Amino acid sequence: MSGRFKILFLSVMALSLLFPSVVLSARIKDLASIKGIRTNQLFGYGLVIGLNGSGDKGGTGFTIQALANMMEKMGIRVNPLDVKVNNVAAVMVNAELPPFARIGKNIDVTISSIGDAKSLQGGTLLLTPLKGVDGRVYALAQGPIIVGGYEAGGDAGGGVTKNHPTVGRISNGASVEKEVLVSLEDKKELILMLENPDFVTATRVSEAIKTHFGEDIAKPVDSGTLKIKIPEVFQNDVVRLIAQLGNLDVTPDMVARVIVNEKTGTVVIGENVRISIVAIAHGNLNIQIKESKDVSQPMPFGVSRSVGNPVQMEKGTVVAPGGATVVTPDTDINVKEEKARLLLLESGRTVGELVRALNAIGVTPRDLITILQTIKAAGALQAELEII
């Protein structure tokens, strides 16, 4: 059994034993969001200059064209064929425009190379307009790039690379130039959207709001949406209403779910996972086949009693009539079956007991994935099995 997997199982068990009856609650602001109050994605095409020979190569046409166009706008006409771009890289610039961002507010930007540049270390992003999906410019980005890594190589082709040097970031590197208008005035109701839709959680949120405000102002529409009627006392102070709503504590309900990542061997089991009566036997059959070549050497000073060509016999054996050296294949097959332990789990067992049971038979993460899939196929796993 792998050490990390065993440590993870023991940690989960220790938490369940130390806090067996603790019910965790969360604030509504951590469980839901207000419809219309959201971030907006911005993007733009730009150039990074000042690179120490690690920029795009001469064959990157869009970098040369962009550089030539920029120079022409500055009153300098150049021939694109004469432009060298070793110190320049074409990049895409991304940013998130937060809600209620006003003109002049600074936001972070991420810069990613789109050419064949080796590194953006030491480069400076030229003034880049950032647009929304509507094609309008909402921010302008510019400044020196911070790259959390480096790339160094030699003429022979070798080199050292740390982290990801073709992606950088500029903290507060963009200035908001256009606002996305979101008004809370004259609103009669708010739409609350749960991050993880669930009918039980929606009902609990509604009851928590009713208990706090003393009136039934929240109505669940479905498993992920609630309509909140704004009381008269908050008609001119919706911000205070949202602040009070966000600080209310609610215990969210969770669907019984098992998440399996086959690529990394990661398995996450939810608290409400239950299993029916099931017997588990897990063992491995290892078959190892080795192919080798043996050399048949004739006796020294051997005299051939016949003259002719080598004769091909069954199974690839070669017989040389003249006493010549021949090569014969040899196959070695080894079959080993591990002893499997039969494990019986009773109905209604929780995740803690499932963890102990699987730990007892010494499963690895890969084995656990196979076991869970088999239990689900047998209809004994009372949970959603999601493979990512």
Give the CA-trace dihedral at 132, 134, 135, 136, to 10 degrees.
Answer: -70
C-alpha 382/C-alpha 364 separation (Å) is: 22
pLDDT higher at 58 or 132: 132
HSE-up of 153 (CA within 13 Å, CB side)? 12
Q: Are 258 and 273 in contact (CB under 8 A)?
A: yes
Threshold 0.75, pTM exceeds: no
What is the pLDDT at residue 105?
A: 95
Q: Which range is least confidently modeled, 72-76, 178-182, 253-257, 316-320?
A: 316-320
What is the pLDDT at residue 81?
A: 76
- Mean pLDDT (whole number) for 193-212: 93
Element (H, E) at 15: helix 3-18
C-alpha 374/C-alpha 388 separation (Å) is: 17
What is the pLDDT at residue 16?
A: 45
pLDDT higher at 244 or 276: 244
Over the stretch 71-97, which tens digit does the pLDDT of each residue have? 888 888 888 777 778 889 999 999 999
Q: Which among 110, 119, 50, 137 has a CA at the least distance from the CA of 85?
A: 50
What is the pLDDT at residue 178?
A: 94
Q: Which among 244, 243, 105 has a CA at the least distance from the CA of 178?
A: 105
Q: What percent of the chain has pLDDT over 90?
A: 35
Q: Which range is least confidently modeled, 232-246, 297-311, 327-341?
A: 297-311
Q: Which domains does the chain have, with CATH numbers?
A: 1-23+254-297+325-388 (no CATH), 26-36+183-250 (3.90.1150), 40-176 (no CATH)
C-alpha 280/C-alpha 359 separation (Å) is: 12
**Predicted confidence (pLDDT) at residue 14 exceeds the cutoff of 50:** no
pLDDT-based confidence at 340, cuts 50/70/90? low
Over the stretch 105-153, which tens digit does the pLDDT of each residue have? 999 999 999 988 888 988 999 999 999 999 999 999 999 999 977 676 6
Q: Are 32 and 194 in contact (CB under 8 A)?
A: yes
What is the pLDDT at residue 387?
A: 82
Q: What angle do CA 338, 376, 378 make, to 5 degrees?
A: 75
What is the pLDDT at residue 109?
A: 96
Query: 76 CB contacts (<8 Å, ≥6 apart)?
Result: none
**Predicted confidence (pLDDT) at residue 346 exceeds the cutoff of 70:** no
- Mean pLDDT (whole number) for 18-43: 81
Inter-CA distances, 36 with 73, 190, 191, 221, 240, Å: 39, 9, 9, 17, 17
What is the pLDDT at residue 307?
A: 46
What is the pLDDT at residue 93?
A: 96
What is the pLDDT at residue 33?
A: 92
pLDDT higher at 306 or 108: 108
> How many residues in the chain?
388
Q: What percent of the chain has pLDDT over 70?
A: 70
C-alpha 279/C-alpha 190 separation (Å) is: 51
Quote the longest CA-to-CA distance of the chain: 117
pLDDT-based confidence at 351, cuts 50/70/90? low
**Predicted confidence (pLDDT) at residue 297 exceeds the cutoff of 50:** yes
Please state the φ and ψ torsions of residue 16, each to the nearest 5 degrees. Answer: -70, -30
Please state the φ and ψ torsions of residue 268, each to the nearest 5 degrees. Answer: -120, 125
Highest mean pLDDT among 73-82, 153-162, 270-279, 306-315: 73-82
Q: What is the DSSP string of 96-144?
A: EE-TTPPTT-EEEEEEEE-SS-S--TT-EEEEEEEE-TTS-EEEEEEEE
What is the pLDDT at residue 13?
A: 45
The residue behind tokens 């299993």 is 275
Query: 322 CB contacts (<8 Å, ≥6 apart)?
Result: 304, 306, 307, 308
Gyration radius from the chain CA atoms = 34
Strands 124-131 and 40-49: antiparallel
pLDDT-based confidence at 11, cuts 50/70/90? very low
pLDDT higher at 67 or 222: 222
Alpha carbon 248 to its chain centroid, in Å, reads 31
C-alpha 326/C-alpha 319 separation (Å) is: 7
pLDDT higher at 24 or 316: 24
What is the pLDDT at residue 302?
A: 52
**Predicted confidence (pLDDT) at residue 385 exceeds the cutoff of 70:** yes
C-alpha 318/C-alpha 310 separation (Å) is: 7
